[in-house]
A and B are shown apart, each in its own frame.
Chain A
Amino acid sequence: MFTQTLVRRAVRSPLAELLLGPHGPDRYTEIVNPMWTSETRAAVTRVRRSTPRSVTLWLQPNRPVTWRAGQHLTVTVEVDGRRHARCYSPANVEGSALIELTIARHDGGTVSEFLFQNGRPGLVVGLSGPAGDFALPDRCPSRMLFVAGGSGITPVLAMLRTLQSDGFDGTTALLYYTRTADDACYRGELVDLGVPVRHVYTRDQAAGDLTGRFDERHLAAAMTDPDAVFVCGPTTLVDAVRRCRPDAVAETFAAPVVAVPEAPGGGRILFRDSGIGIEDDGRPLLEQAESAGLAPQSGCRIGICHTCTRRKLRGAVRSLTTSTVSTADDEDVQICVSVAVGDVDIAL
């Protein structure tokens, strides 16, 4: 660590910046080791597969990463040459040197599928964050109920583990929803923690401690009159908990489903930096921005020079030159040859 700090200092000196310019020290050091860079990256050091549909990875970051139990980090991986990012909540005690992530594979999840298939020691991923308001209060009340659905267990487990490591002397209980008993990650760890757990299996009702979906009955069975409720899971679960306990601290993780309409036009375009919203008339985004009184940089206007490239924050756009549709959030698009497909937010 000392040598690393020394090397880091040396390569950041003005002389080194001149000698290593214009590319900068990272572009040389990362060739030797992809972890030697000023970007935050992490290497997988340990892998465990405890359920058929999930993988648990322990990551060693190249610089200290601090997060609060319940928050998430953004993990970036490269799949077939393209970078993809997805948020995951660490499951271990906040302040740990290693980051423990449990990734559940799900249909169409590019990053999760990649990590499930390729998660092995030595894999290097990009890290950013933390982010998220799902966290324990500074002063914890004495009776706290936790509700987790599927991979929503990870931030909840981080909270339970952090409480234990902090010597919390109140009462906690967990309601844990999974498809089947096999899908319940951390079953053993939960037993070791000593937290009373009620398992509910949505596709194997009889095998669980309770049947049906979350309702007053489940709440009463798990803990009578909790002071605080924390829930992390799919929107349907969070909504159900909020109906019983409007004060519940909640986090949902379901990816929004982007429905791509057939034809351009009719949606709403928001130029977010300037706060201007307009109704889409089907012309390229650049032309509509100019009609709205904005003056974004542009060059060739035929999709070759990339001067007008802007970040699309949300929504779908279709490229007029390649007919490809970009649906992911935070993608760069050439606005001179992009038309909105539905509602779109652009950083402009």
Chain B
Amino acid sequence: MTAALEHPSPDRIEEFGRELDAIREKVIADLGAVDVDYIRRVLKAQRGMEIAGRGLLMLPPTWLLGTALLACSKILDNMEIGHNIMHGQYEWTGDPALNGRTFEWDTACPADQWRHSHNVVHHTYTNILGMDRDIGYGVLRMSPDQPWRPYFLGNPVYAFLLMVLFQYGVALHEVETERIRAGEISLADKRQVLEEIWRKTRRQTLKDYLAFPLLAGPFAPFVFAGNLTANLVRNVWAFSIIFCGHFPAGTQEFTVEETREETRGQWYYRQILGSANLTGGRLFHIMSGNLSHQIEHHLFPNLPARRYAEIAPQVREICERYGLPYNSGPLPTQFATVVRKIVRLALPGRAV
């Protein structure tokens, strides 16, 4: 662990875990039509914006508006809709359109691979160095506990590239390039994974950069540029929100040793120490897929995300009572600390 923190006693941690369990049970007992109506409204808005956006960006006078709508649609599709549905947050509804195991999203990463790399790996082993591959995505040095190598001098450059190409970075997650580079596995071991990524990425590319532009005839360049911009905006936004979830100043990483034989209470404890929230208005929370409530999301990844806002004060109050940090701040402040960390960790040493 990077910062010295007095751990609560084991009994106290379990007590703390039971209080969190109680919050979840209360929300689960209350789930109903209001939650389904909400996600369907978001789906409707996303599809409406997608259709309107794709139409409007074909013509120069409305290009900017259309591109903005398409970008919003992609952000909603990936975050409030795709990410949350694929967590199984709406599986209790029995609606196949909201089924987390079959949902596919409008981004380069195949949904099946995401379900493994995110739901299983990242959410189970959150912030455990060497296990949670979201720490640096296999290309960045995001923790002082990662040994420095000259390669990391390019940390800010890699981070910038990851930001603008974020959908491809996410798509390549399951390839585990750092293990290939280390010689632990060979490229041939990842053949099937690569084939799936290729199929999904090819479809997405054909759609945004060939089929829709051709459909616009003489206005093809506008459509091409609009789709490129919308994808870029989504990439930068998603990267910013996601990197603010676990890397702002104050979040902690863990070692495999200290998390071995973890109890449920300790698991909750780790989720809180390793996550950070973003403050903002209702629209901001929706556009961030409620990942602005990263702490609540990591405690209860399969509760409908719209519920995080209502339980956040309760979680915060529990944290205060147990003397645990509750890391929260506005996006610009939190993101600045992330950038600082990326730049600082390009150089050797442990200080951040």
B259 interface contact, C-beta 8 A: no
A324 to B31, CA, bound (A): 13
Taking CB atoms and an 8 Å cut-off, the chain B residues in 225-271 that contact chain A are 264, 267
Asked if residues A304 and B94 are in contact (CB atoms below 8 Å), the reply is: no
The residues of B that contact A18 with a CB separation of less than 8 Å are 203, 206-207, 211
Question: How far in angstroms is the closest Cβ of chain B from A211?
Answer: 45
Shortest Cβ distance from B99 into A: residue: A332
Bound-state CA distance A323–B26 (Å) is 11
CB neighbors of B among A22-42 (8 A): 22-23, 27-28, 31, 39
Rounded to whole angstroms, the CA-CA distance of A15 and B43 in the bound complex is 23
Q: How far is the CB of A342 from chain B (nearest CB, A)?
A: 22
Do B91 and A309 touch (CB < 8 A)?
yes
**In the complex, B144 has a CB within 8 A of chain A:** no
Interface size class of A (residues with CB under 8 A): 20 to 34
Q: Does A299 lie within 8 Å of B116, measured CB to CB?
A: yes
Closest A residue to B96 by beta carbon equals A39
User: B36 at interface (Cβ–Cβ under 8 A)?
Assistant: yes
The interface-forming segment of A51-59, A60-68, A76-84, A238-246 is: A76-84
- A307 touching B115, Cβ below 8 Å: yes
- Nearest A residue to B27 via CB reads A322
Given contacts A15-B211, A81-B35, contact A28 B51 (CB under 8 A): yes
Shortest distance from the beta carbon of B37 to any chain A beta carbon, whole Å: 8
Give the distance to chain B from A119, nearest Cβ to Cβ, in Å: 18
Alpha-carbon gap, A81 to B29, bound state (A): 13
Name the interface residues of A301-348: CB closer than 8 Å to any CB of B: 302-307, 309, 321-324, 331-332
In the bound assembly, the distance between CA atoms of A83 and B33 in angstroms comes to: 11
Contact with A along B185-229 (1 / 0, CB 8 A): 000000000000000100100110001100100000000000000
Distance from B236 Cβ to chain A, minimum over Cβ atoms (Å)? 22
Cα(A323)–Cα(B24), bound, Å: 11
Residues of chain A with a CB closer than 8 A to B93's CB: 78, 81-83
> Which residues of chain A have C-beta atoms less than 8 A from B94's C-beta?
82-84, 331-332
A19 contacts partner chain B, Cβ-Cβ < 8 Å: yes
Instruction: Provide the residues of chain B in CB contact with A167, threshold 8 Å.
Output: none
B residues near A82, Cβ cutoff 8 Å: 32, 92-94
B-chain residues with CB within 8 Å of residue A23 when the two chains form the complex? 47, 104, 106
Beyond A82-B93, A304-B301, A322-B25, whether A22 also contacts B203 by CB under 8 A is yes
Contact A28/B28 with A82-B92, A299-B119 known, Cβ cut-off 8 Å: no
Q: Is B302 an interface residue (CB 8 A)?
A: yes
Closest to A79 in B: B33
> How many angstroms from the CA of A39 to the CA of B95 in the assembled complex?
12
Residue of B28, B88, B211, B264 near A322 (CB, 8 A) is B28
Query: Which residues does chain A contribute within 8 Å of B116, judged by CB atoms?
Result: 299, 307
Task: Determine which of B47, B88, B106 lies in contact with A306 in the assembled complex, contact meaning CB atoms within 8 Å.
Answer: B88
Query: Does B325 lie at the interface of the complex (its beta carbon under 8 Å from any beta carbon of A)?
Result: no
**Taking the complex as formed, is A21 at the interface, i.e. its CB lies under 8 A from any CB of chain B?**
yes
Contact B36 A305 (CB under 8 A): no
Whether A300 sits at the interface, judged by CB under 8 Å, is: yes
Complex contact A78–B105 (CB within 8 A): no
**Chain B interface SS verdict (over half):** helix
Q: Taking CB as reference atom, which chain A residue is nearest B304? A: A81
Q: Chain B contacts of A15 at CB under 8 A? A: 211
Do A300 and B104 touch across chains, with their CB atoms under 8 A apart? Answer: no
Within 242-281 of A, Cβ neighbours of B (below 8 Å) are at none
Determine if B34 is an interface residue (Cβ-Cβ < 8 Å).
Answer: yes
Tell which of A22, A28, A304 touches B302, judged by Cβ atoms closer than 8 Å: A304
* Across-interface contacts of B289 in A (CB, < 8 A): none
B307 within 8 A of A: no
Which residues on A sit within 8 Å (CB–CB) of B105?
22
Chain B residues with CB under 8 Å of A309's CB are 88, 91, 101
Contact among B28, B48, B123 for A304, CB-based, below 8 A:
B123
Enumerate chain B residues within 8 angstroms of A31, measured Cβ to Cβ.
44, 47-48
Which residues of chain B are near A302, meaning CB under 8 Å?
124, 264, 267
Give CA–CA (A331, B91) in the complex, Å: 10
B100 on interface, CB distance cutoff 8 Å: yes
State whether A306 touches B211 (Cβ < 8 A).
no
User: Is the pair A21, B88 in contact by a Cβ cutoff of 8 Å?
Assistant: no
Q: Are B31 and A81 in contact (CB under 8 A)?
A: yes
B86 to chain A, nearest CB (A): 9
Q: Which residue of B lies closest to A307 (CB)?
A: B120
Q: How far is the CB of B193 from chain A (nearest CB, A)?
A: 16
Q: Who on chain B is nearest to A328 by CB?
A: B94
Which residues of A lie under 8 Å from residue B28 when comparing CB positions? 322, 324
Q: A-facing mask of B111-134, CB < 8 A → 1, else 0?
A: 100011001100110000000000
**A300-B123, A304-B119, A323-B25 known; A81 and B44 CB under 8 Å?**
no
Q: Are B120 and A299 in contact (CB under 8 A)?
A: yes
**Do the beta carbons of A19 and B212 come within 8 Å of each other?**
yes
Complex Cα gap A227–B31 (Å): 54
A37 and B124 alpha carbons, distance in the complex (Å)? 37
* Known contacts A31-B48, A306-B100, A306-B101; A21 and B203 CB within 8 A of each other: yes
| Inter-subunit contact A300/B207 (CB<8 Å) | no
Chain B residues with CB under 8 Å of A331's CB are: 94
Nearest B residue to A306 via CB reads B88
Q: Which residues of A contact B341 (CB under 8 A)?
A: none
Residues in B whose Cβ lies below 8 Å from that of A78: 33, 36, 93, 95
Taking CB atoms and an 8 Å cut-off, the chain A residues in 136-166 that contact chain B are none
Q: Does B97 contact A (CB under 8 A)?
A: yes
* A328–chain B nearest beta-carbon distance, Å: 10
Q: A305-B119, A307-B119 are in contact. Are A81 and B124 (CB under 8 A)?
A: no
List residues of A whose CB falls within 8 A of some B CB. 15, 18-19, 21-23, 27-28, 31, 39, 78, 80-84, 299-300, 302-307, 309, 321-324, 331-332
**A-B pairs with lowest CB-CB distance, top 8:** A299-B120, A83-B94, A306-B88, A81-B36, A305-B119, A22-B104, A300-B124, A80-B32
7 new A-B contacts at CB < 8 Å, known A80-B33, A81-B36: A18-B207, A82-B32, A82-B94, A305-B124, A305-B301, A307-B115, A332-B91
Q: Which chain B residues have a beta carbon within 8 Å of chain A's beta carbons?
A: 21, 24-25, 28, 31-37, 43-44, 47-48, 51, 87-88, 91-97, 100-101, 104-106, 111, 115-116, 119-120, 123-124, 200, 203, 206-207, 211-212, 215, 264, 267, 301-302
